[in-house]
A = this chain, B = another copy of it.
Amino acid sequence: MDQSLICPRFEKAITLLSKRWTGLIIYQLLNGPQRFCTVESSIGISGKVLSDRLKDLENEGIVKREVIPETPVRIEYSLTEKGLAMEPLMKEIEKWSQEWLEA
């Protein structure tokens, strides 16, 4: 009796967002391209997990990684079109949180 009526695409999306940190990383990157250490310190994630997540998100086509040969080397992470398309979704989370959660 495993009648999964849940759309597999929706399930995949929510599974993505249900991974710890994923949502916050995307939200943070909506502020524009930024480097590893900026994301790390602004959301308080460990370097190890951030490294994992950014790879996952790159594989999903949500995040883009760009090496900028400066001194020392700078690496910029940014959202792809697919990632940027999550903005309305994030706005809805924001809305809900402002209406239903206490400060």
Closest residue to A22 on the B side, CB-wise?
Answer: B18
* Interface residue A103 (Cβ < 8 Å from any Cβ of B): yes
A43 touches B4 (CB 8 A): yes
Which of the residues B23, B44, B94 comes within 8 Å of A2, measured between beta carbons? B44
**Would you give the shortest CB distance from A2 to chain B, in whole angstroms?**
6
A53-87: CB near B (< 8 Å → 1, else 0) gives 00000000000000000000000000000100110
Residues of chain B with a CB closer than 8 A to A82's CB: 100
**Would you give the shortest CB distance from A93 to chain B, in whole angstroms?**
5
Q: How far is the CA of A7 from the CA of B24 in the complex (A)?
A: 11
Number of A residues near B (Cβ < 8 Å) is 46
Residues of chain B with a CB closer than 8 A to A2's CB: 41-42, 44
Point out which of A6, A10, A27, A94 has the most chain B C-beta atoms below 10 A from its C-beta: A10
In the complex with contacts A1-B41, A42-B6, A85-B96, A23-B27 CB distance below 8 A: no
Q: How far is the CA of A68 from the CA of B103 in the complex (A)?
A: 36
A97 touches B42 (CB 8 A): no
